Amino acid sequence: MEIPKLKDARATIRAFCETRLADGIPYREQHQQLEPGLLEALFEAGLMGLEVASPHYSRPESALFPEPLPFQHLMLLIEESSRVDPSVSVVLHVHNVLFNRLLERFGNEEQKSLWLPLLAQKIVGAFAVTEPDAGSDLSALTLTATRSGDGFVLNGRKRWITSAREAGLFAVFAKIPQNSGADTLGCFLVQRETAGLSIADNTPKLSMRGSSTCELSFEEVFLPASALLGNERSGADIAQYALCMGRAGIAAQMLGIAQGALTLAVRYAEERPAFGERIAQFQGVSFPLAQASTEISLLRVYVYQLAKKVDAGQSILKLMDEANKAKLFASQVAERTASQAVETLGGNGVAEAYDVERFYRNAKVGKIYEGTVNILLRSIAAGLTREHLS
pLDDT in tens, 19-56: 999 999 999 999 999 999 999 999 999 999 999 999 99
Residue 135 has pLDDT above 90, yes or no: no
> Would the pLDDT of 217 be above 70?
yes
Inform me whether the pLDDT recorded for 389 exceeds 80: no
Q: How many alpha carbons lie under 13 Å from residue 342 in its C-beta half-sphere?
A: 15
pLDDT for 390 = 58
pLDDT digits (tens, 9 = 90+) for 71-91: 999 999 999 999 999 999 999
The CATH class of 236-389 is mainly alpha
| Ranges in the chain annotated CATH 2.40.110.10 | 127-233
pLDDT at residue 386 tops 80: no
249-297: pLDDT as tens digits: 999 999 999 999 999 999 999 999 999 999 999 999 999 999 999 999 9
- As annotated, the residues of the chain forming the CATH 1.10.540.10 domain(s) are 6-123
Q: Is the pLDDT of residue 320 over 80?
A: yes
Give the confidence band of 68 by pLDDT, cuts at 50, 70, 90: very high
Residue 224 forms beta bridges with which residues? 151
In the residue annotation, 51 being an active-site residue is answered as: no
Q: Which of 35, 219, 370, 387 is catalytic?
A: 370
DSSP labels, 30-78: HHSSPPTTHHHHHHHTTTTSTT--TTS----TT-S-SS---HHHHHHHH
Is the pLDDT score of 387 beyond 80?
A: no
Q: What is the pLDDT of residue 369?
A: 94
Domain 6-123 indexed as CATH 3.10.180.10: no
For 228-248, how does the pLDDT look when each residue is reduced to its tens digit (9 = 90+)?
Answer: 999 999 999 999 999 999 999
Helix (H, G, I), strand (E, B) or coil at 365: helix
8 A C-beta contact, residue 166 and residue 187: no
Entry pTM: 0.96
- At 310, phi and psi to the nearest 5? -60, -45
Rounded CA-CA distance 268/334 in Å is: 18
The pLDDT of residue 75: 98
Q: What is the DSSP string of 150-203?
A: TEEEEEEEEEEEETTTTEEEEEEEEEE--TTS--EEEEEEEETT-TTEEEPPP-
Mean pLDDT, the chain, whole residue set? 96
Band the pLDDT of 1: cuts 50, 70, 90. low
| Dihedral angle computed from the Cα positions of residues 204, 171, 369 and 319, in that order, rounded to the nearest 10 degrees | -160
Query: How many C-beta neighbours within 10 Å does residue 105 have?
Result: 16
Q: What is the pLDDT of residues 140-183, one digit of tens each?
A: 999 999 999 999 999 999 999 999 999 999 999 999 999 877 89
Q: Which residues lie below 8 Å from residue 134, measured CB to CB, with a gap of 6+?
A: 140, 141, 142
User: What pLDDT score does 2 carry?
Assistant: 77
For domain 127-233, give its CATH number from 3.40.640.10, 2.40.110.10, 3.10.450.50, 2.60.40.1180. 2.40.110.10
Q: Are strands 124-128 and 167-176 parallel, antiparallel or unpaired?
A: parallel
Q: How far is CA 228 from the centre of its chain?
A: 23
Query: In this predicted model, what pLDDT tens digit does every residue of 95-129 receive, in sequence order?
Result: 999 999 999 999 999 999 999 999 999 999 999 99
Q: Does residue 385 register a pLDDT over 80? A: no
